[in-house]
Amino acid sequence: MSRKKSTIYLDEAADMRLEAVARKLGSSKAELMRRFIDEGLLRADETEPPLPPLPKYRSERALTVEEMDEAIYQSMKRRAQKR
């Protein structure tokens, strides 16, 4: 697998902690950062984003089930078009 170079800026305390952990594990700081990033990305893939809130409607009268279904459908359709 090919690698791409990236630069990140760490505050001094984080850099010192990273150095200490890398030394303790017998690893380089770069390898440790790659492992941390890989683990973080795996966790991000495993977590599902929260569901968006249901649309709110204001009406002078209660909507019928069919009207509510249609309103929700139209709202979802608009959101899908924005993506």
- Tens of pLDDT, residue by residue over 26-47, are 999 999 999 999 998 888 877 7
What is the predicted pLDDT for the residue at 75? 84
The sign one gets for the Cα dihedral 45, 50, 51, 57 is: negative
**pTM as predicted:** 0.52
The sign one gets for the Cα dihedral 67, 69, 72, 75 is: negative
